[in-house]
C-alpha cells in the first residue's frame, strides 16, 4: 500500500475530494457576495441602510439560504445510504445485487489493517457500522435547525422593516414560508436520487464507478 501511494502524487490520490471541496468553497463565497448585494438591494427598497459584508454573514438571510441547501443535501445522503441497505432496483448501477451477497454485507473481521473500531469491537464497532448514516443524520438535523433559525430571523427582519409585529419561532413554524423553503429543496434531492437510480439502468458513462460497464445488459443490477 505504501509503495502504491509513492507511485502517485498527492493531487492524483485526492483529486476528486479536493476538487469538490474547492468548488464548494468557491460557490459558497460567490453565494455570500451575491447574497450580500441582493440583501442590500432589498434594504434599499425599504429605505434602510446598507450593511457591510461581515455583518451580512450573521444575518438570517445568509444563514437561512446556506443551511436550507445543506439540510436537503444531508437528508438526501442519509436516506440514500440507509435505503440502499435493504431496497433494490433491478438494472440500476446504484443498487445491490438482487440475489447475491455483497462485500458490504459481510461481518467485519478484526485485523492489522482494519480500522480501530473493528479491532475494538463492542458498542464502538456497532456505532462504526452505522457511522456514515449517523453522521449524515446528525448533520441534517443541525442544518435543519440552523435553516429554521436563519429563516425565522430573516422573517422578523422583514417584519420590522415593513412595520409589522415579529413572530416567535413557534408561530413562525406554523406559517407556510419555512415549509415552502424546506419542501422545494427536499423534492429536488429526491428527484436527483430517482434520476441516478433509474438512468443508470439504461444509460452509461465509460470510466465512471457510478455506471455499469458500457456493454452490460440493462437487466444487470449493481456495478
DSSP-derived letter for residue 88 is: -
Looking at the fold, whether 119 and 192 belong to one and the same domain comes out as: yes
pLDDT in tens, 150-179: 999 999 999 999 899 999 999 999 999 999
Looking at the fold, whether 51 and 94 belong to one and the same domain comes out as: no
Residue 34: closest CA among 59, 62, 68: 62
State the total domains in the chain. 2
Looking at the fold, whether 163 and 79 belong to one and the same domain comes out as: yes
pLDDT in tens, 84-134: 999 999 999 999 899 888 888 889 889 898 999 999 999 999 999 999 999
Task: List the domain range (segments joined by +) for residue 140.
Answer: 72-99+112-223
105 domain-assigned = no
Looking at the fold, whether 163 and 137 belong to one and the same domain comes out as: yes
28 domain-assigned = yes
- Rounded distance, CA 84 to CA 76, Å? 12
For 220, what's the count of Cα atoms within 13 Å in the CB-facing half-sphere?
A: 12
191 domain-assigned = yes
pTM above 0.75? yes
Looking at the fold, whether 40 and 116 belong to one and the same domain comes out as: no
129 domain-assigned = yes
107 domain-assigned = no
Q: What mean pLDDT do residues 192-214 have?
A: 92
| Residue 192, number of CB atoms within 10 A of its CB | 14
154 domain-assigned = yes
Looking at the fold, whether 14 and 77 belong to one and the same domain comes out as: no
Looking at the fold, whether 47 and 151 belong to one and the same domain comes out as: no
Looking at the fold, whether 122 and 170 belong to one and the same domain comes out as: yes
Amino acid at each position: 500500500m505504501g509503495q502504491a501511494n509513492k507511485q502517485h502524487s498527492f493531487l492524483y490520490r485526492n483529486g476528486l475530494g479536493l476538487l469538490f471541496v474547492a468548488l464548494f468553497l468557491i460557490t459558497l463565497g460567490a453565494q455570500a457576495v451575491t447574497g450580500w448585494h441582493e440583501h442590500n438591494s432589498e434594504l434599499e427598497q425599504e429605505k434602510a441602510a446598507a450593511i457591510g459584508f461581515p455583518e451580512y454573514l450573521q444575518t438570517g438571510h445568509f444563514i437561512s439560504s446556506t443551511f436550507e441547501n445543506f439540510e436537503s443535501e444531508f437528508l438526501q445522503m442519509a436516506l440514500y445510504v440507509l435505503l440502499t441497505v435493504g431496497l433494490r432496483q433491478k438494472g440500476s448501477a446504484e443498487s445491490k445485487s438482487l440475489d447475491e451477497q455483497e462485500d458490504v454485507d459481510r461481518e467485519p473481521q478484526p485485523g492489522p489493517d482494519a480500522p480501530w473500531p473493528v479491532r475494538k469491537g463492542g458498542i464502538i464497532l456497532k456505532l462504526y457500522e452505522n457511522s456514515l448514516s449517523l453522521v449524515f443524520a446528525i448533520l441534517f438535523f443541525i442544518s435543519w435547525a440552523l435553516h429554521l433559525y436563519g429563516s425565522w430571523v430573516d422573517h422578523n427582519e422583514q417584519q420590522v422593516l415593513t412595520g409589522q409585529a415579529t413572530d416567535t419561532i413557534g408561530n413562525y413554524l406554523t406559517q407556510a414560508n419555512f415549509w415552502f423553503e424546506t419542501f422545494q429543496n427536499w423534492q429536488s434531492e429526491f428527484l436527483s436520487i430517482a434520476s441516478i437510480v433509474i438512468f443508470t439502468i439504461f444509460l452509461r458513462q465509460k470510466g465512471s464507478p457510478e455506471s455499469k460497464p458500457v456493454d452490460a445488459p440493462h437487466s444487470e443490477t449493481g456495478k
